Structure 1
Amino acid sequence: MPRHVACVMDGNGRWAQRRSLPRTAGHQAAESAVIDVVEAARTAGVRWLTLYAFSTENWNRPGTEVDHLMRLVRRAVRRHAPLLLARGIRCRFLGAADPRVPPELAQDFDDLTALTSGNRGMTLTIAFDHGGRRDIVAAARSLIRSGTPADEVTERLFADHLPFPDMPDVDLVIRTSGEQRISNFMLWHVAYAEWVFPEVLWPDFRAPDFLACLHTYRRRDRRFGGVPPRTNGERS
């Protein structure tokens, strides 16, 4: 079972387009998939789940779509806070640093983080206004400000200056809709992740699809740059 699973929730716009609906309808339909996947991950025993909800590049989308998405996210956070608390899920938000994030939404993020901070079940991280490169630059700046000599910088020390230093590396990334891009997502943490690209669009992604991705992961041979062990029938 992967310890840390991350989902790039892709395909909302195409889901709406295929139904001759506005793109905002796709974002609205995505909420059901989020709750289904959270429940499926928790039940399956996944300890860390990260969902890519909004990237630093998504600010380039039409203002009306961005505003609608902000309202949807705020409504979803408030609606599902009691469920997340009851399920023992700890919630955190990765990013949300841009001043264009509405103050009331940023406050809702802080409130949910505080509300669930004592939970000891699965950790759910919402990557919102997130950019992998930005996080790496911020970590480098933090190291420089700390006065750490260059020859003392190690991967472990560098990781300690990233947001949420306790977050383990990602084992499995699921990107829906068949697209095969990293999209500036958690670049440090996905260095050795396995990737799965189901064709299903995110609003149609449900627990059986998520479990199928876990099954695919469990069939992978993770070698981390090494070679597979020889069986008794193989010659050296």
Structure 2
Amino acid sequence: MAVKVLIVEDNPVARGFLARVVRESFSDTMTITEAGDLEAARHHVQLAGGGDGLHGADPFKLIFVDLELPDGNGLDLLSALRHYPATKIVTTLYSDDDHLFPALQCGADGYLLKEDRFEVLVEELQKIVRGQPPLSPAIARRLLLHFRAGAADGASAAAAGLTAASGPVSRPVPLEALPEHERLTPRETEVLTYLSKGFTIKEIASLMGIKWFTVNDHIKSIYRKLDVSSRAEAAVLATKHGLV
């Protein structure tokens, strides 16, 4: 019997990319269902046994969920599927704590960044067979640093005589507006918008009617102005600044 997979992703290019990753990752026959929004995803889940995967139905075994969808947040779907008998994996551009930890709290079994190379994503998905959670390398490092920092904060609090109930309090650092000379040009903003939606450099070049190396130059300028090193970081920071 084929393994049923559900990919919830509004970008058709990203959906196709993830479908290729899935087929490359497993030797089993895969039946892949695609949903471009939450409504379609809920419809497919209902056909496959509902939110609890009712006995006797043929539920999905693997579900990929993007966090930002046209009709809502992927976290809502994860919460509704908390008891669904499937491995649920977030596939997103966001690598920050504000997206990562809520996703894990809502029942995500893995967290992958769509910007990772094809080979990296395949390697991470293959961990499922070994009973390991699929985590992008950047996410695994972030989790490790988070818990190391938490342990260090706890030790400092104990040394200062703080009670366990009070605990360390982390405060977000406010973002300042970009200086005038560091603001993105209209072209750079357009490139960043496409990057945030998961398009490749060649696809962006085709959409904008420019050469791929010109897109690459724009990306380098975007990274420099935003002081980031990946499209995920750029997308998150640009959203917080209201640039896209």
TM-score, structure 2 as length reference? 0.29
Computing the radius of gyration from Cα coordinates, the structure with the larger value is: 2
Higher relative contact order (CA 8 A, sep 6+): 1
TM-score, structure 1 as length reference? 0.30
